[in-house]
Structure 1
Amino acid sequence: MKRDIFSVLFFSLTTILYSQTSKKTGISRAHLQEFQKNLIINGETGGNVIVVSKNGEVVYKHIENSNKIGDKTITDQTLFPIWSMTKPITTVAALILKEKNLLDFDVPVSKYIPIFKNLMCKSKEGIVPCKNEIKIIDLITHLSGLSYYKDFMLDGMRAKSLEDLMDDIAEHPLEFEPGESYFYGLGHDVLGRVIEVVSGVSFQAFMQNYIFEPLEMNNTKFFLTSKEKELMLPLFVKNEEIEGFNETGITGINDIITYDMEFKVAYGSQGLISTPKDFSNFCSMLVNRGEFKNKRILSAQSISELIVRYADGPHSSDSDFLGVYNGLGVYVLDNPSLMDFKAPKGLFGHGGYQSTEFFIDPKNDIYGVFLNRSLTDYNHRFYFIKAVYDAFTNQPY
């Protein structure tokens, strides 16, 4: 009897506290926590983290640990490979140079990388000389025809520098004439080399000086010491043949990144390691139209350029994420009615190979960050965004 009374009192107190929290923040913590727990229970991720901000205030931040054998406990110091979420950061780096009138997006890449002057293209007639040159804008918007060819990661491991890697990339034919179609590829890696040539410093140094330091992204980097590598989350893998955790995160020829200090190539398309706090700072800058803590990183005009339409959807090869077009290196939600969720038109974002995601909602001053390290067949992008907007008690859209 006493236990029943205690249970009722505890439930009532919890309900009161939850109601107050929900009323204050406008978001149901219980809904998102249940979402995170179910990802683990259903074998979609290992431990995971979600951060949501609205109107400049973090309204939700929660770490859900899996407590499974082979996984690690996530803390504020845990490091996450963010893979293709590197691309929007590299895009911002290029926009910074554009604002300084040092980089024109409409000029050929060969102005900065001469070996890109005479590339070959795939065609119905076979491999032929390209009629068009790749422009800087094509690198950012995936209209260049550059692809992640079979040995790209091996070439990256062997390369002595980004400049060296460009020679390998230029040997492979483009998928089509530059500017004529959309194909998700390695354009941002070439863009990283362009940034080096234009700025006169290494790509890594430029990112550090103009993005990481001003945004206080103190733990975001391309390369790690052996001590720092101990903070990396293991990769959770689940498919028809295997389920478990992979300490190195390497599963084959297409994802060979060691992050060792000895590695020479800083990939502009997929090379960064980050943390929830660091990446939240990047998102804060985007949602605040280029400002972070009264520091101007980009102009509001440059931020608006991110959502200009350059190609129809789908984004990457994500055919399960409907109603989007491809902007300046990000997907942009154009027709939310095609999917069963409540996110608004104009939302934009990007994901990463190992199931990380972020989105920016300019209309409602919301951003969301989802970090984990998983390879499963789950549609993380759709369900993450849906979970966040379903959690708002006062729907913002």
Structure 2
Amino acid sequence: MGVQDHYRSAAAGFDASRLSRLDEHLQGYVDRGHLPCYHVQVVRHGEVAYSAYGGMRDIASSSPTTADTLYRIYSMTKPVTSVAAMMLVERGLLRLDDPVAAYLPAYADQRVYVGGQAAAAVTRPAAGPMRVRHLLTHTAGLTYGFLRVHPTDEVMRTAGFEIGVPAGMDLAEATDAMGAFPLRFDPGTSWNYSVATDVLGRVVEVVSGTSLDEFFRTEIFEPLAMDETAFHAVDADRLATLYHGAGGSAPTPLDALGAAALKPPTYLSGGGGLVSSMDDYTRFARMLLGRGELDGVRLLGNRTVDFMATNHLPGGADLGSFGIPLYAETPFNGVGFGLGFSVMLDPTAAGYPTSPGEYGWGGMASTVFWVDPAEDLTTVFMTQQMPSNGYPLRTELRQLVYAALVD
């Protein structure tokens, strides 16, 4: 078994013995050799109801997971960047309907793919401009090179944009280059998981007049006392090793990819660049649950967070009907998308017993978090294994957490 801290389970409305199933279940993955490490933490009514961790931070050296282990959170960076953008919206410095080209000229006169091979793509002018809201909702027409399902993905890979960007490029250079790639569809007409939040990070830099890491540090991390979250590991000795594993295979170290987190990067990825700890990201999630406020520190107004956590897909559609169901850190049926998060619309369609209005996101190393305003609850899960869909961890975690609620 891993290390369990039950804290105030009963006071938070949980059955402690049922919560302990979380540790039993996750430790089972470790014992079978399918997962290197884990840490799960559940907070309700302001109380840490449950926290358990186990496995090895690094298997080769037999270094155990500890409460202060650091993790690459990858796409759980996206909600942080989205919060940063909405802070600028609140200050009147940015508007959701602003064309992206107003801040990044490379995004003027964009073209949409209509046919042909990637090396000789046939394109047409976009029907309308890409807007800031499209970046926040992944409806910009952008894509990811690693998706490997469409010629626009191949265009990105051929240019060196698969996981990450070409060596030596900073955020300004990379997002300018991305602006020249053909879009998969006209902005606002569909949903596709993409580099949109990286582009949004560059918009934050231009509007604020400061680098993304500095904005995060001074406007979000320091106010929230998130002292161990940055674009690199603040203590390399506590950084978990990154692994690959799926389908019952033993975790295999991804040393080259994982090493990127050991030093400050040239490219500040607002879509996937942060390293964080359990306690730090729990504080971020609790700020969201507090509708923009935590421990007397307010980053956003109540209504702004409510607005972000509302489905923004046209006509109230879910991702299953409006999105391209190829890859994402969330189910598609019954799930909408807000300004930076997936948003639960219909738990029955999604297939697990959560609450309508629950929102959150995950990262490609299988981390995940969610905020459930109806239950006054946050859950954060950390591990370091790619791909994130190698095992049904996220569905299982929700089942286990909600089965332990007994009030």
Quick one: distance in 1 between partners of 2:128 and 2:166?
Answer: 30
The amino acid of 2:402's aligned partner reads: Y
Shift of 1:241: 9.6
Quick one: distance in 1 between partners of 2:372 and 2:36?
Answer: 27
Change (3 A) 1:348 1:154: closer
The amino acid of 1:203's aligned partner reads: L
Quick one: distance in 1 between partners of 2:57 and 2:193?
Answer: 36
Change (3 A) 1:154 1:143: closer
Partner of 1:207: 216
The amino acid of 1:236's aligned partner reads: Y
Partner of 1:132: 128
Q: State the Cα deviation string for residues 306-328 of structure 1 (Å, max 9, x = none).
A: 22222321477357563211121
Quick one: distance in 2 between partners of 1:22 and 1:96?
Answer: 34
TM-score (norm 2): 0.84
Question: Do residues 145 (structure 1) and 141 (structure 2) align?
Answer: yes
Quick one: distance in 2 between partners of 1:68 and 1:155?
Answer: 24
Partner of 2:20: 30
Quick one: distance in 1 between partners of 2:138 and 2:176?
Answer: 20
Question: Do residues 123 (structure 1) and 123 (structure 2) align?
Answer: no
Partner of 1:292: 294
Matched positions, count: 369
On the 8 A contact 2:106/2:180 being kept in 1, the answer is no
Which structure is larger by alpha-carbon Rg, 1 or 2? 1
Partner of 1:367: 378
Q: State the Cα deviation string for residues 297-351 of structure 1 (Å, max 9, x = none).
A: 1000111112222232147735756321112121111111235532111111101
Question: Do residues 76 (structure 1) and 82 (structure 2) align?
Answer: no
Q: Which of 394, 397, 401 lines up with 1:381 in the alignment?
A: 394
Quick one: distance in 1 between partners of 2:56 and 2:212?
Answer: 36
The amino acid of 1:230's aligned partner reads: D
Change (3 A) 1:340 1:135: closer
The more displaced of 319-328 and 199-208 is 319-328
Question: Do residues 46 (structure 1) and 36 (structure 2) align?
Answer: yes
Quick one: distance in 2 between partners of 1:245 and 1:154?
Answer: 18
Q: Which of 233, 239, 246 lines up with 2:240 in the alignment?
A: 233
Quick one: distance in 1 between partners of 2:24 and 2:300?
Answer: 37
SS in 2 for 1:329: coil
On the 8 A contact 1:333/1:345 being kept in 2, the answer is yes
On the 8 A contact 2:246/2:391 being kept in 1, the answer is no
Quick one: distance in 1 between partners of 2:248 and 2:41?
Answer: 32
SS in 1 for 2:288: helix
Shift of 1:80: 0.2
On the 8 A contact 1:155/1:165 being kept in 2, the answer is no
SS in 1 for 2:165: helix
Alignment root-mean-square deviation, CA: 2.4
Quick one: distance in 2 between partners of 1:140 and 1:64?
Answer: 35
Shift of 1:223: 2.5
TM-score (norm 1): 0.86
SS in 1 for 2:210: coil
Quick one: distance in 1 between partners of 2:27 and 2:192?
Answer: 35
On the 8 A contact 1:49/1:64 being kept in 2, the answer is yes
On the 8 A contact 1:289/1:298 being kept in 2, the answer is yes
Change (3 A) 1:273 1:133: same
The amino acid of 2:319's aligned partner reads: G
SS in 1 for 2:174: helix
Give structure 1 stretches of 5+ with no counterpart.
Answer: 1-17, 251-255
Shift of 1:247: 5.5
Alignment of 1:345-356 (within 5 A): 345-356=356-367
Give structure 2 stretches of 5+ with no counterpart.
Answer: 1-5, 117-121, 146-156
